[in-house]
Amino acid sequence: MLLGRMIARSIWPERKERGMVILTTICSEFPDIDVFFSNGNPLQHLQIHRGLTHSILGASLLALLLAGVTKRWFLKERRFSTLYLASLGGLGIHIFFDLVTSYGTMLFYPFSKARLSFDTVFIVDPYIWLILLLPLLLRWRRGALFAHRNLIATIILALYLSLGFLNHGVAMHRLQRWTTAQ
């Protein structure tokens, strides 16, 4: 929830855009609704988690639903296309951050059950949590720099993830060189 809120506040920093921030934040958590679809069997949960609700098709359909509900009952003055893109963006934030962990995400479900994973960060990364808490810790500070705290934290997060991708690439290259030398 912190992630979706931080990125949404980077895009819509003004208070009058609170509805868009709330929509994007809710959508950034929505793919995990699949935890309610299992019958209590832990094995079934592992099989379906990060499936349809984490796929491109599922996100597109969920974004239509969530944008429609939001347009109908909450943000009537907004264009549907804007709400759809905000919903899709929130869902995409969640899916991307699941992709960078090692667990794997069925991005192309139902066409493929293959789990894609970039394996660049640990599933519970303390540095990411620290970056996510940064805007909240600086919330009461004043000044131009602090006014952009969400955007700055989002940039720091993007740099951290880029470093993770770089390190992963270097490690894979070294592993490949080492295995061919054996």
pLDDT at residue 140, rounded to an integer: 80
Q: Which tokens go with 149?
A: 């705290």
Query: Is the distance from CB of 161 to CB of 120 less than 8 angstroms?
Result: yes
In total, how many domains does the chain have? 1
Stretch 95-101: mean pLDDT: 96
Stretch 145-171: mean pLDDT: 94
Contacts of 15 (CB under 8 A, 6+ apart): none
pLDDT at residue 130, rounded to an integer: 96
Structural domain boundaries, residue 175? 2-181
When the pLDDT of each residue in the chain is averaged and rounded to a whole number, the result is: 94
pLDDT at residue 180, rounded to an integer: 95
| Residue in 121, 124, 150 with CA at minimum distance from that of residue 12 | 150
Give yes or no for residue 43 having a pLDDT over 90: no
Residue with tokens 């602090």: 146
Give yes or no for residue 145 having a pLDDT over 80: no
Q: Which tokens go with 56?
A: 């491109």
Q: DSSP state, 110?
A: T
Model confidence band, residue 6 (pLDDT cutoffs 50, 70, 90): very high
pLDDT at residue 1, rounded to an integer: 86
